[in-house]
Structure 1
Amino acid sequence: MGILSRASYVVRSKLNSLLNRAEDPTESLDYSYEQMRDELQDVKQGIADLTTQKKRLEIQKRRLEENVEKHNEQAREAVRQDRDDLARQALEKKQAKMSQIEELEGQIADLQSTQDDLVGKKNELQSRIEEFRTKKETMKARYEAAEASTRVSEAVTGVGDEMSDVTRSIERAEERTDEMEARSEAMDELVDTGAFDDAMSDKDSIDRELESGRSSKEVDTELETLKSEMGGSGSTSGGTESAASEDTESEAEEAEAPDVDVSDAEVEAELEELKDDEN
């Protein structure tokens, strides 16, 4: 098989497959039924034309028969007048008309036979059309029932084309929803960890650690103050002297302790210089 033959075979196979998928049996049955009805109509038209031709020949035959009678009368009148020549002419014309009548009768008989044959074929074709119409309606009903059952089965099982599209749409929607939920959780996590604040802030990690330490120190100081207030409110008058002696001892300890304010001021100054350098 040559290349062109193979290509032609492949193309015909593909076209045949496409036509089979696109073909609707109900439409094919309706089309075939209409074709048969058109054929029946053509047969009826042929019978009508044939009958018309036969009627024209019959009319022509009647006119010739009238002429034959006329020539008979002419011949009789010529004989009565002793005009044999005219009688002969009339009889000759009569014979010619009789020959034409015989010819027409043969044609009319042939047309009648053809008409009878066509009428029989028309009746047979009409019976076949009626039978085909009954089968067509039965096949259409069966096909439509099978098609409806198939659609229901495909919808229930989810294997139909439309249900497959619906299933894919649901899967895509679930994927998008999962992606958006994951993205939302990631954004919340970044916000909680301060990643966005870090990106928009001029402070570095040391600044944040120092601020956290200061906040913790302030909380501790406030807690000690609260404790001392709670302890002072619960003391008696008899413990005044001991409290005073404790205050005196604490003042003495503070006097003996080294001065840390200077070192804190130096650290703060260095931190300010570091901030200025980074800015």
Structure 2
Amino acid sequence: MGIFSRLSDIINSNLNAMCDSAEDPEKMIRLIIQEMEDTLVEVRSASAKILADKKTQERQLRALRGQAVNWEEKAKLALSKDREDLARAALNEKRRIETDAVALEDELVLADEHIQQLHDEVGQLQLKLDDAKAKRKAILMRADSVTQRRRTQHQIHRTHLDEAFDRFERFERRVDGLEGELDAMNLGRGKPSLADEIDALSEDDVLNEELEVLKQSMAVSKKGDEASNNA
């Protein structure tokens, strides 16, 4: 698994956990940056270890090459003394050492490739870390702005609903007062005249219209408040 793939899994896991527990944005961003910093330290430590191992392998390679040269000199010496059997044995040792040296050279090539890969990953991760830190303040400001807007919107809807209830109560008291006046008039005058009954019907229509408008206003405000709470 690549270092960025693993880091992505760690961050996504933390994001899901924080979303489930309704963590605040500041804590979420701080944790993601901490994960990136920890991963950066880990990658740099791995790179340093590989570099140290490479230096050890390079010393071993130089030693093997020196031994190969030494065995070749021994083979020459044996031939100069007419000891072809010893010369052959010396050349076999040289060949074995050269085989080990070739294998070690291949390991050094792989080490160089791994070191270059880690170097590239460190550079990319450092850029992402710097970018995350640079955007941290802006993201927190945006999150705070959204929170404030939601709170303000909720307060506006709450205020509208309270005002609608107040208006309803005023109209209710007004109707109660009018009914009381009519009752008083009826008690003092007996049966109302035809004109009084017609006027009362007209006034009832006006009140009914006002009450209907008020009910519609309250229904709209209540729906807006429910939508804000569900958001």
After TM superposition, the score normalised by the length of structure 2 is 0.52
Deviation at 1:153, TM superposition (A): 7.1
Match of 2:72 in 1: 72
Shift of residue 44, structure 1, vs aligned partner: 1.1
The 8 Å contact of residues 71 and 94 in structure 2, kept in 1 or not, is answered as yes
Q: Do 2:71 and 2:90's aligned partners in 1 also have CA atoms closer than 8 Å?
A: yes
1:110 matched to which residue of 2? 110
Tell me, yes or no, if the aligned pair for 2:18 and 2:28 is still in contact at 8 Å: no
Q: Deviation per CA, 1:179-204, whole angstroms, max 9, x where unpaired? A: xxxxxxxxxxxxxxxxxxxxxxxxxx
Match of 1:129 in 2: 129
Q: Deviations over 1:198-245 (max 9, x none)?
A: xxxxxxxxxxxxxxxxxxxxxxxxxxxxxxxxxxxxxxxxxxxxxxxx
Aligned partner letter, 2:29: L
Q: What's 2:100 paired with?
A: 100
Q: Classify 1:75/1:133 alpha carbon distance in 2 versus 1 (closer, same or farther; 3 Å).
A: same
1:87 aligned partner: 87
- Are the structure 2 counterparts of residues 132 and 16 from structure 1 closer, same or farther at C-alpha, using a change threshold of 3 Å? closer
Cα distance, 1:68 vs. partner? 0.7
1:109-168 CA distance string (max 9 Å, x none)? 112112211211221111111111111132234446x49967x979x99x9xxxxxxxxx
**8 A contact 2:36–2:129 mirrored in 1:** yes
Structure 2: which 5+ residue stretches go unaligned? 1-16, 159-231
State how many pairs are aligned. 139
Distance in 2 between residues matched to 1:94 and 1:129, nearest whole Å: 51
Cα-to-partner distance string for 1:57-110 (whole Å, 9 max, x where unaligned)? 222111101101111211122222222222111111100011111111111111
Q: Which amino acid aligns with 1:19?
A: S
1:112 alignment partner AA: D
Q: Letter of the aligned partner of 1:37 in structure 2?
A: E
Where do 1:228-243 residues align within 5 Å?
none
Letter in 1 for 2:101: I
SS in 2 for 1:82: coil
Indicate the SS of the match to 1:118.
Answer: helix
* Distance of aligned partners of 1:99 and 1:87 in 2 relative to their CA distance in 1, 3 Å threshold: same
Would the alpha carbon gap of residues 143 and 98 (structure 1) be closer, same or farther in structure 2, given more than 3 Å must change? Answer: same
Instruction: From the superposition, tell whether residues 17 and 60 of structure 1 become closer, same or farther in structure 2 (CA, over 3 Å).
Output: closer
Question: What value does the CA root-mean-square deviation take over the aligned residues?
Answer: 3.0
Alpha carbons of structure 1 residues 108 and 18: separation in structure 2 relative to 1, 3 Å: closer
Residue 82 of structure 2 aligns to a residue whose secondary structure is coil
